[in-house]
Amino acid sequence: MCGINGIVSFRAGAPLVDLDELTRTREAMRTRGPDAAGSWMSSDGRTGFGHRRLSIIDVSDRANQPMVSRDGQMVLTFNGEIYNYTELRSELEAGGETFDTASDTEVVLRMYAKWGREMLPRLRGMFAFAIWDSSARTLFLARDPYGVKPLYYANDGQTIRFASQVKALMAGGKISAARDPAGIVGFLLRGSVQGPFTIYEAIRELPAGSSMMVTADGPAPPCAYFSIANVLRDAVNERRHYSDDERAAIIADGVRESVRYHLVSDVPVGAFLSSGLDSGTIVALGAETGIPLQTLTLRFKEYADTPKDEAPLAQMVAKSYGLSHDISTLSGDVFRTHLAAALDAMDQPSFDGLNSYFVCKAAAELRWKVALSGTGGDELFGGYSTFRIIPRMVRLFAAFRYMPSLASAFRRMQPRMFKNDIRYSPKTAYTLKYCTSYAGAYLMKRGLFLPEEVAGIVGEDVAREGLARLDMLARIRAAMTPDPGTAFARVAALESALFMRNQLLRDIDWASMAHSLEVRVPLVDAFLLRKVAPAVFSTRKRNGKELMARAPRQPLPEAIVKRKKTGFTVPIRKWLADPSETAKHFGMRPWALHLLEVNGHLLPRRP
């Protein structure tokens, strides 16, 4: 895993690349790649690439980056892993190509030279990269289907700058620090900044599953090559009947294959292990390969000897498969000691992510470079309560979309009806307004604050501009367009394209890279989705996760299979207790405001 950056002066009158700026941006990502650093500059001084390397595949110096093609025409700076690179390399070799390294990076470079943008759907992995074609004088940017690896860019009309982190772009010193109301409002509504916006007006995120070409005329709009909603719609429309045994076989084959690919590495691989089915299945399937696998569980001192303590069952799983296992215990004192460092590592404000930070910290202390995570199982197999609650909300309240006056009356009456009752969120008053559609119900269920609350935090002007440009309901609808066709598939599209992409995956990236750790997510894989979607979404049965747990040849311990689901949460309420009535009423929502305030992210509040 790596940090990449670059500067391209695409307009004729644009200033030449500032090597000091290129270096500052690169070095702001040192923890993303502590093993090597490199830079490349074109002969005319108008294009420069930087790279920080975490060596995982072909750890020799010959695979360092930026990588220049043999003829000098193309230059690549690449972040990620291509798990099927050996098959792709063999195909290229069959066509007459020869290689100078054993790296996946060179495979990407040769594939682009041969197939251009058409290569993207063939790459199985997590990636973000940039390729400069000196003969065509074009910059090509691309990002993996789910957006596991980030890529941000800033275009001032003459020069485009890109990097793996927002903070790295800012460290270059040439980008405006003006805050983006759409980014701030997106965080307040969802608990994470909503792409393609960032916390800064000048910086945008390249959307997941898309590419972008930059020519002398500037950047073209991002071009999508992958859609979660499309895959789910095709699966639903297949309408083929599968028996439970057939579904189990399809899911087992798909997950087993994905785990095998995600173990490709020239350094040892570990795995995060909780007491849940997702990580347990990944660990069990990893053990089947015979590759030595070390496991790690993060335990919270305050949860010890309670149902939330995942360590005993995780240890049982590791022992069942003969794996080396470590338990790291996190206490409130240690959490508070390292909280400032965690918030400083956070690339953009996020309501979540501290759990990922501390488990990655524990892995780094064991000198791990690669870890597998069970992230993605709930989105793929319907493990969240949202898969039940959101369709139920829509069924219950859909008729009220035709009764706006009644919804308005309820908004006015609700605060008086439930005054001083802390069981009711301030959002409850807007139930009849939002819960009439999937987009509105999702915003209610997964939202942090509602649009009506934002002005009270950042003021009328910022709220008005941010809400208008963000248009959160339209953004939610876009995540399930084309319509996947069933309630279950709609929620899967929303959770994968919004919650997982903008929050979970982004949090894993900054939290792991802060500790020079590569985290791989076998259940977040476009090839896996295409393979198992018909078995998961073309049926009324919702037992995909249980069928996944049947995949290991040696069954998971029964205690794991029967355990009630719990989330991987930090006991932050206890560690950062706030006795005020505000905290009691709003839950942890004041914590979100604190996250915006750290590092000066929040615009001045209304007087």
- Tell me what pLDDT residue 415 has: 64
Average pLDDT over residues 101-126: 97
Q: pLDDT digit string (tens) for 344-396? A: 999 998 988 889 999 999 999 999 999 999 999 999 999 999 999 999 999 99
What is the Cα–Cα distance from 494 to 499, expressed in whole angstroms?
7
Average pLDDT over residues 394-418: 76
Q: Name beta bridge partners: 78.
A: 129
What is the Cα–Cα distance from 183 to 177, expressed in whole angstroms?
13
The one-letter amino acid code at 578 reads: D
Burial class (CB in 10 A: 0-12, 13-18, 19+), 441: buried
Q: pLDDT digit string (tens) for 186-244? A: 999 999 999 999 999 999 999 999 999 999 999 999 999 999 999 999 999 988 889 99
- Tell me what pLDDT residue 566 has: 64
Average pLDDT, rounded, for the chain: 91
Average pLDDT over residues 512-518: 97
The pLDDT-based confidence of 592 (bands split at 50, 70, 90) is: low
Q: Where are the domains of the chain?
A: 2-226, 229-382+489-573, 386-485
What is the Cα–Cα distance from 379 to 148, expressed in whole angstroms?
14
Task: Supply the pTM of this predicted model.
Answer: 0.93
Residue reference for tokens 């790459």: 123
Residue reference for tokens 């949090």: 507
The pLDDT-based confidence of 587 (bands split at 50, 70, 90) is: very low
Task: Give the Cα-Cα-Cα angle 45, 107, 8 (nearest 5 degrees).
Answer: 20
The pLDDT-based confidence of 402 (bands split at 50, 70, 90) is: confident
Q: Taking a C-beta distance cutoff of 8 angstroms, is the pair 133, 73 a contact?
A: yes
Q: Alpha-carbon torsion 444, 205, 349, 282, what sign? A: positive
Structure tokens of 378? Answer: 């709930």
Does residue 437 carry a pLDDT above 50? Answer: yes
Longest dimension (CA), the chain: 76
Q: Alpha-carbon torsion 335, 337, 338, 339, what sign? A: positive
Q: Alpha-carbon torsion 359, 363, 369, 372, what sign? A: negative
Q: Is 276 left (phi over 0), alpha (psi -120 to 50) or beta?
A: beta
| DSSP letter (8 states) at residue 201 | T
Does residue 603 carry a pLDDT above 50? Answer: no
Q: Whats the size of the chain, residue-wise? A: 607
- Tell me what pLDDT residue 212 has: 98
How many other CB atoms are found less than 10 A from the CB of residue 146?
A: 23
Q: How far is CA 386 from the centre of its chain?
A: 19
- Tell me what pLDDT residue 559 has: 86
What is the Cα–Cα distance from 139 to 181, expressed in whole angstroms?
29
What is the third-level CATH fold of 2-226?
Answer: Glutamine Phosphoribosylpyrophosphate, subunit 1, domain 1 (3.60.20)
The one-letter amino acid code at 499 reads: F
Does residue 579 carry a pLDDT above 50? Answer: no
What is the Cα–Cα distance from 552 to 386, expressed in whole angstroms?
28
Q: pLDDT digit string (tens) for 228-240? A: 999 999 999 988 8
SS (H, E, C) 413-436: HHHHHCCCCCCCCHHHHHHHHHCC
Report the range of poorest mean pLDDT among 22-36, 213-227, 530-544.
530-544
Q: Which CATH superfamily is domain 229-382+489-573 in?
A: HUPs (3.40.50.620)
